[in-house]
Amino acid sequence: MSRRSLLGRTAAVAAGATALTATAGGPATAAASATRDVDVAIVGAGLAGLTAARDLVAAGRTVVVLEARDRVGGRVVNLPLANGGVTEGGGEFIGPTQDRIKALADSLGVATFATYNTGKNLLYKDGRKTPYATDGLLGSVPPVDAAGLANAAIVQASLDDMAKTVPVDAPWTAAKAEEWDRQTFESWLRANAVVPSAKFLLDVACTSIFSAEPRELSLLFVLFYIAAAGNESTPGTLERLTETANGAQERRFVGGSQLVPVKLAATLGDRVALNAPVRTISRSGGKYVVTADGLTVTAKRVVVAVPPPLAARITYDPLLPADRDQLTQRLPMASVGKAIAIYDTPFWRADGLNGQVVSDTGVISSTFDNSPPDASYGALMGFIEADEARKLDAASEAEVKAAVLKDYVTYFGAKAASPTSFVLQRWNNEAYTRGGPVSIGAPGVLTQYGPALRRPVGGIHWAGTETSVHWMGFMDGAVRSGERVAKEVLAVL
């Protein structure tokens, strides 16, 4: 099964992008001891925070966006390559029903192109490499034994059917929410994916979608995530999460996905303050005081648009309600990295391969062809996820590179051993992310604390992809959350 999106590192922009550091009319680095007074202070210059700022400014409100990093984009980032190109270190794919990120990109003049999907996928299982077509009777499902395929199909249909009963705006109210939230996805799979090869397919799907192991996830959380993989008129399905063609990995952005937040930030100018990590949010005299490094902002309302675990690291005065704080203690980030090897050409295409692999072993269990639209060079991207990512958190970049290239050689042959360059994005080690692509829910979290996820606390409002009712964990979910929170704030200002 395939893989999708979301995630960030160093400031890197492609042709036509606006510089991310302080420039005339662009985002500015916070000056020492500066102060501002605005209608709304926004914490985080990812897609959620920038979208909220855009809508609030359009409605005539004054805003400032406080960003801890020296760049915008959050979990969406372009990584510079030695050959002058860029590749995506975080969220990169979009697909059907992801309407809001597409509309935003269109409005900013950022085009998309089809993810390379011509040729055969590779299944590497039990030490054997099997090429398989993606347009046959089974679609892109890896060709395991017939019993496993049959069992996996039943499991997938069951998950989709259960997900249809989960309200995306309040999954904790589903008729069987308590039952489903009492068990892990692993325990449910063990009872239902009874053929080993079917369990393998579902395990790979889980780590590819969540960058987490099945034992870490509540069944209810998984069902909500499936339900959310659609829009207001189209129910979510597991297949849409895992597929390339007609799925969440269908298209990429020309020039890299970070062009979208870069260009959006450029429309906001010096309303975006970089290098300004927020330390405290306090209420004083009917207003909120947001204290960041080098900048203090007073505001009528505050939008916190960062992942829940990072929002929890801000000091609040008065204290947040216990249920909100308990929620953020129980929504850890998953574990993910991306490794991209660059070659003179996408040589695997000549072998009839599309660059997509599903594997039962190695550091890299899923890959994509990350080459640019003109194929002027080749780029193999692999995800390092869940347990495999955590095993390498303390490893050197050289050690990670060696392990990754060993897998690439296993999958694509000796030519993969000698890339012209290699870039690595390790989200677990990012100071202002500490994992990715999304916060995950273990058993008991949604039913006990879910209502606190989006509920404002006084004048503090919550955004970010984790708060979206559609495409949670994706760029589209981040944009949707920004649009939702802007309406929420405007209704009370």
Torsion of CA 478, 79, 376, 344, to 10 degrees: -140
Among candidate residues 220, 120, 199, 108, the one with its CA nearest the CA of residue 154: 199
CA 250 centroid distance within chain: 15
Q: What is the pLDDT of residue 32?
A: 54
Question: Do residues 42 and 63 touch, judged by C-beta distance below 8 A?
Answer: yes
Q: Report the predicted TM-score, pTM, of the whole model to 2 decimal places.
A: 0.94
Which two three-digit tokens encode residue 43?
A: 């914490």
Tell me 328's DSSP state: H
H-helix or E-strand containing 192? Answer: helix 185-192
pLDDT tens sequence for the chain (493 residues): 333 333 333 333 333 333 333 333 568 776 556 999 999 999 999 999 999 999 999 999 999 999 999 999 999 999 999 999 999 999 999 999 999 999 999 999 999 999 999 999 999 999 999 999 987 666 678 999 999 999 999 999 999 999 999 999 999 999 999 999 999 999 999 999 999 999 999 999 999 999 999 999 999 999 999 999 999 999 999 999 999 999 999 999 999 999 999 999 999 999 999 999 999 999 998 999 999 999 999 999 999 999 999 999 999 999 999 999 999 999 999 999 999 999 999 999 999 999 999 999 999 999 999 999 999 999 999 999 999 999 999 999 999 999 999 999 999 999 999 999 999 999 999 999 999 999 999 999 999 999 999 999 999 999 999 999 999 999 999 999 999 999 999 999 9
H-helix or E-strand containing 262? Answer: helix 259-268
Strand order in the sheet with 120-125: 128-132, 120-125, 353-359, 366-369, 378-385, 336-343, 421-426
Q: What is the pLDDT of residue 3?
A: 35
Q: What is the pLDDT of residue 489?
A: 98
Among candidate residues 71, 112, 105, 101, the one with its CA nearest the CA of residue 89: 71
Q: What is the pLDDT of residue 412?
A: 98
